[in-house]
A and B are shown apart, each in its own frame.
Chain A
Amino acid sequence: MSERADAARPILGEFSYEPAAAQKGYTGQTLYVNLSNNTFESKAVTEEMKEKFVGGRGFGLWYLWHGVEDETRWDDPENEIVISSGPCGGITQYPGSGKSLVVSISPLTDVVIDSNVGGHFGPLLKFAGWDALEIQGKAEKDVIVFIDGTTGRVTIEEAPDVPIDSHKVGHWLINEMAETEEDRRYMSAVSAGSGADHSRFGCLNFSFYDRRREEPRFKQAGRGGIGTVFRDKGIKALVVKTDPVRGDLNHPAEPDRISKVGVQMHREIHEYDDVQCRMRHRGTTYLVQIMNDYDLLPTHNFRYGCHPDAPKINGDVWEGKFTQGIPDGCWYGCTLSCSHAVDGYELRTGPYRGQKVIVDGPEYETVAGCGSNCGIFEPWAIMEINFYCDTYGLDTISFGTGTAFVMECYESGLLDKEKTGGLELTWGNAEAALELLHQVGRGEGFGLIFGQGIRRMKDIFAEKFGADREFLEDIGMEAKGLEYSEYVTKESLAQQGGYGLSNKGPQHDEAWLIFMDQVNNQIPTFEDKAEALHYFPMWRTWFGLCGFCKVVWNDVTPPDNDMTEEPAKVPEHVQNYVEVFSGVTGRKVTKEDLIKQSERVYQLQRIFNIRLGHGLRDHDAVPYRSQGPVTVEEYESRAERYDEQLEEEVGVDPTAMSTEEKMAALRAYREDQYEKLIDAVYKRRGWTKNGVPKRETLEKLDIAYPEFLRVIEPHL
């Protein structure tokens, strides 16, 4: 650290420690930091924690559970931000092993949010000696927390010289904090941005140093407003620094088991990615065309699933814009390399107008959410929104889905220029969407209302603007307070549950069942769907316990995968994870054990939601737009499909019915189907009809702790 910077940042608290090397994936210690009184603690990671909750999201929930009260809300000092990667996080031999999970009480949902993120912070945190970082309290003035694993010193420092917007924090990190090229490589920052100060959907940016571009890059913990909590705590940045990374820093129990499947996986990606998803060339944007082809690409606030202009923003377009030939992994050894970037993009709007920047992404969710869902089919606008959301610390999914919502309100006459302060929020108006975004960044005008998220906007529009509450409830694409991620679920009952029956809110990282359900018809009965809504959320939860990324599991598949009994599970890759987990931790596990590990964490999260006053059946409700056509235009645009369903599934003859009558009949049927699905899923998950985990469910999983029983018993 330079003397100038040191002088600019008075030290408020200091803590010395002996950095513990990881053994079999764990350092055995968690760093607790309290920003209210500038104190620190090194907490032991117990064997029971490892056995029952593994790491990552499991550790996050465990610490948060013990850190808060039943009444704690997102902006109370007791709320925490916990960051943990997991035992396999930071291995370099298996692609996609550098993820972190961040856990907090969400300003959007008032329950627990977990958000997964790449970048180097989580692995470097472990190599600095900590399995997890638990932050509680609130700083009086803006601070940074600097964890220096090279010297074994943690400091809380006042940070008047540190910028807030993330791309500037990245430059501050490599230019001011890092003294050498080696420092740049082995330092990482977590930051939010000015938008997080003025909204409930602030995200966190996790940095990594891009050695070829010689620039900081970022991955986002986007969902649920943890960036908002971060800024509310007065944090400008968390910084970690370590000695050079080596391939064996986790000191795995049986390294050859990891490398064997790792090399095999690299080879598989080398052989098949080019002819499968082309993640190495276009990242997740390959999905745009597929979703459009299957009528699943959200368009005009999820009214429709395709649009003639979709080819203007599909994977081919992004492949032409991403700088090719650079290994764009967000952690070492990820050869699926989906973290692409547009280099030298010149900004057209906002405070950084005219500057040339790196745009991290866009990824599919951003293209669909901030593009097609808002009727925006101009790549420049999507890049511009992407960049500003990131640097302002805003979740592109909540921003996109939220913008689509206000655009529909505007187009439907519920909003007008007077109410929006002059913003013409018509479909496709990219300039208006960007101005809205800058208003959130500045904390001005309609941006402040918008920054509250869809759930609270519905209240404001109904109460202050006299908008039709029922219509708002139907078209406002949020559940539990979290904005939907970007898939149209009208024709997939299982995916309606995939979103609605998730613990954190409608985010695709819990379950993505549309192809199994709607396209391939592999799970026709309620029991089949319930089984899928048990297995896949548990399986996907598991990645976030260990430090893994989901995409390596099924965005490339072995050539004979379709010949296996359960191709949707990608059995060969599941077995790889058994190998890697055992290879790192030395624990003998089967693939069934992995699901059991997740079940404990999943049940804990459900109980946590109940403890915070949510988490029951009522809270698993979804907006009708996710289940069926809300407007006459929607129905009539796919009249043939819906008429056929009325005849064949509902058992009514649509010929003499008006569109309104047909819509009502379809709605009654679909809403009933969803309720039946809930019954089946709750049963499979071991919950009561009200969605409460049963005592015997917890006993079976060896987690019938008195503190859990205290929460569920009043509901049993």
Chain B
Amino acid sequence: MRVLSYDPELCITCRTCEDTCSQTFFREVTAEKSKIRIHDGGDDLPSASFCNQCGECIDICPTQALSRGRRGVVRVSRELCVGCFACVGFCPSQVMFWHVDEPVPFKCISCGVCASECPEGALEVVEVEEAPAPVEPYKSV
């Protein structure tokens, strides 16, 4: 399956990925509409939140709006989604996002646009057999 991969050693938290993502999908630059979120680690390394394509959300959805599509990527059907955000609350890594402007939730679809814009090469899209371990849900300190 196709997933995004992130190397915190290379990340300089410039947030180019966030800007690129929201610009690509929502035509505006705002971190709240990015499908990847970078967290400054302070003295520690930074971290990133984005979907690992584990698919746990698929069975949560009451309308079957979530499904695994081409190359194993989990996608949201705008046609079927009723905007309940159950998947947002039930995502084990808290990487299904919502925004008040948007009727449906959104998530990383491993498109790789952010990776191509990352100045440090901290992001890349890789092919894996199984979904990587869930990203630890980010907790602000």
The answer for the CA separation of A507 and B79 in the assembled complex, in Å, is 41
Residue of B61, B62, B63, B100 near A259 (CB, 8 A) is B100
Q: Is A205 an interface residue (CB 8 A)?
A: no
- Interface core residue of B83, B84, B88 (most chain A CB under 10 Å): B84
Among A33-41, A99-107, A243-251, A698-706, the stretch that binds chain B is: A243-251
Binds B, one of A7-15, A327-335, A378-386, A587-595: A327-335
A335 partner, pick from B63, B82, B89, beta carbons under 8 A = B89
For the complex, is A419 an interface residue (Cβ under 8 Å from B)?
A: no
A247 with B89: in contact, given A93-B83, A332-B84 (CB under 8 Å)?
Answer: no
Are B61 and A247 touching (Cβ within 8 A)?
Answer: no
CB-contacts of A233-271 with B (<8 A): 244-248, 255-256, 259, 262-270
Contact A327 B60 (CB under 8 A): yes
Q: Does B90 reach chain A (CB closer than 8 Å)? A: yes
Interface string of B32-70 (1 = CB under 8 A from A): 000000000000000000000000000111111000000
Closest to A262 in B: B85
Is there contact, CB below 8 Å, between B83 and A248? yes
The verdict on A327 contacting B59 (CB below 8 Å), with A259-B98, A263-B98, A270-B90 known, is yes
* A92 near B82: Cβ-Cβ < 8 Å: yes
Complex CA–CA separation, A497 to B100 (angstroms): 45
Decide if B12 is an interface residue (CB 8 Å cutoff). Answer: no
Q: Are A332 and B63 in contact (CB under 8 A)?
A: yes
- CB pair B62–A332 under 8 Å, yes or no, is yes
A495 and B61 alpha carbons, distance in the complex (Å): 38
Look across to chain B and name the residue whose beta carbon is closest to the beta carbon of A248.
Answer: B103
Evaluate contact between A269 and B89: CB separation under 8 angstroms: yes
Using A246-B103, A247-B103, A256-B100 as known contacts, say yes or no to A93 and B85 having CB atoms under 8 A apart: yes
Q: Mark B92-108, 1 if CB is under 8 A from A, else 0.
A: 00000010100110000
State whether the Cβ of A325 lies closer than 8 Å to any Cβ in chain B: yes
A264 and B86 CA atoms in complex are apart in Å by: 10
- B135 CB, nearest partner CB in chain A, Å: 16
Question: Does B90 contact A333, Cβ atoms closer than 8 Å?
Answer: no
Closest to B91 in A: A270
Q: Bound complex: CA of A329 vs CA of B59, how far in Å? A: 13
Residue A141 CB within 8 A of the other chain: no
**Docked complex Cα distance between A185 and B77 (Å):** 16
Chain B contacts of A259 at CB under 8 A? 85, 98, 100
Q: What's the nearest-Cβ distance from chain A to residue B64, in Å?
A: 6
Q: Cβ of B31 < 8 Å from any Cβ of A?
A: no
Determine if A417 is an interface residue (Cβ-Cβ < 8 Å): no
Q: Please name all residues of chain B whose beta carbon is closer than 8 Å to the beta carbon of A246 when the two chains form the complex.
A: 82-83, 103
Min CB–CB distance A271 → chain B (angstroms): 9
Q: How far is the CA of A334 from the CA of B84 in the complex (A)?
A: 8
User: How far is the CB of B77 from the nearest CB of chain A, in Å?
Assistant: 12
Residue of A nearest to B87 (CB): A266
Are A266 and B88 touching (Cβ within 8 A)? yes
Bound complex: CA A327 to CA B89 (Å): 14
Give bound CA distance, A95 to B88, whole Å.
Answer: 13
| Interface band, chain B | 20 to 34
CB distance from A118 to the nearest CB of B (A): 13
The answer for the CA separation of A211 and B65 in the assembled complex, in Å, is 11
CB neighbours (8 Å) of A248 from chain B are 83, 103
Residues of the A chain whose Cβ atoms lie less than 8 Å from the Cβ of B59 = 325-327
Cβ contact within 8 Å between B98 and A327: no
- Residues of B within 8 Å of A185, CB to CB, are 63
CB pair B104–A247 under 8 Å, yes or no, is: yes
Q: In the complex, A326→B59 CA distance in Å?
A: 7
Q: In the complex, how many angstroms separate the beta carbon of A25 from the nearest chain B beta carbon?
A: 16
User: With the chains together, A255 CA to B82 CA distance in Å?
Assistant: 14
Query: Does A66 sit at the interface, judged by CB under 8 A?
Result: no
Q: Which residue in A212, A267, A325 is a CB contact (below 8 Å) of B89?
A: A267
With a cutoff of 8 Å between Cβ atoms, the chain A residues found around residue B104 in the complex are 247
Q: Are B81 and A335 in contact (CB under 8 A)?
A: no
- A332→B82 contact, CB < 8 A: yes
Q: Mark A333-350, 1 if CB is under 8 A from B, else 0.
A: 111000000000000000
Q: In the assembly, what is the distance between CA of A270 and CA of B87, in Å?
A: 10
* B86 and A266 form a contact (CB under 8 A): yes
Q: How far is the CA of A267 from the CA of B137 in the complex (A)?
A: 12
Give the contacting residue for B81; candidates A95, A247, A264; CB below 8 A: A247
Residues of B contacting A247 with CB < 8 Å? Answer: 81-84, 103-104
A336 to B63, CA, bound (A): 16
Tell me, rounded to whole Å, the shortest Cβ–Cβ distance linking B57 to chain A: 11
Asked whether, in the complex, the Cβ of B64 is within 8 Å of the Cβ of A333, the reply is no
Question: B79, B83, B90: which contacts A92 (Cβ < 8 A)?
Answer: B83
Distance A256 CA – B84 CA, assembled complex (angstroms): 12
Tell me if B82 and A333 are in contact (CB < 8 A). Answer: yes
In the complex the two chains form, what is the Cα distance from A13 to B82 in whole Å? 34
Q: Which residue of B lies closest to A264 (CB)?
A: B89
CB pair A270–B89 under 8 Å, yes or no, is: yes
Known contacts being A255-B100, A327-B62, is A266 close to B82, with CB within 8 Å? no
* A211 CB contacts on chain B under 8 angstroms: 62-64
CA distance A265 to B90 in the complex (A): 10
Kindly state the separation between the CA atoms of A211 and B61 in the bound complex, as whole angstroms: 11
- Residues B100 and A93 in contact, CB atoms below 8 Å apart: no
Interface string of A91-120 (1 = CB under 8 A from B): 011010000000000000000000000000
Query: B64–A93 contact, CB under 8 A?
Result: no
* Chain A stretch 297-335: residues in CB contact (< 8 A) with chain B: 325-327, 329, 332-335
The chain B residue with its CB closest to the CB of A91 is B84
Cα(A247)–Cα(B76), bound, Å: 14
With A255-B100, A267-B89, A270-B89 already in contact, the answer to whether A327 and B83 are too (CB < 8 A) is no
Give bound CA distance, A332 to B70, whole Å: 27
- Asked whether, in the complex, the Cβ of A333 is within 8 Å of the Cβ of B103, the reply is no
How distant is A327 from chain B, measured CB to nearest CB, in Å? 5
Further pairs besides A270-B89, A335-B60: 8, Cβ < 8 Å: A92-B84, A247-B83, A255-B100, A256-B100, A262-B89, A264-B89, A268-B89, A335-B86
A-B contact pairs, 8 of them (CB 8 A): A245-B82, A246-B82, A263-B89, A263-B98, A264-B89, A326-B59, A332-B82, A333-B86
The 8 closest A-B pairs by CB, nearest first: A266-B89, A247-B83, A333-B84, A256-B100, A92-B84, A267-B89, A332-B82, A327-B62
- Show the binding face of B for A, using Cβ within 8 Å: 59-64, 79, 81-86, 88-90, 98, 100, 103-104
